[in-house]
Amino acid sequence: MNGNTRTNLKVGMTVLVVQKQDQRTGKLTKGIVKDILTKSPNHPHGIKVRLQSGEVGRVKDIVVE
């Protein structure tokens, strides 16, 4: 599943996000979704979320465990 569609995401899921400062390098941060910040149903660069750690980024991948 990709992180471009809001309906794919739920609070509590483990995801990989790219933070604003890491967009050039593409470094991904793993975390658990606390809040879904993007209101639109789709976003070409990924839905923006806040992780439980407080970090904010756009979802690039959903971790299936």
What is the residue extent of each domain of the chain? 6-62
End-to-end Cα separation, the chain, in angstroms: 13
Which pTM value belongs to this model?
A: 0.92
CB atoms within 10 A of CB 65: 4
User: At which residue do the structure tokens 């790219």 appear?
Assistant: 18
Q: How far apart are CA 28 and CA 25, in angstroms?
A: 9
- pLDDT (average), residues 27-46: 96
Q: How far apart are CA 46 and CA 17, in angstroms?
A: 9
Contacts of 10 (CB under 8 A, 6+ apart): 33
Please give the CATH architecture assigned to the domain spanning 6-62.
Roll (2.30)
Residue 4 binned pLDDT confidence (cut-offs 50, 70, 90): very high
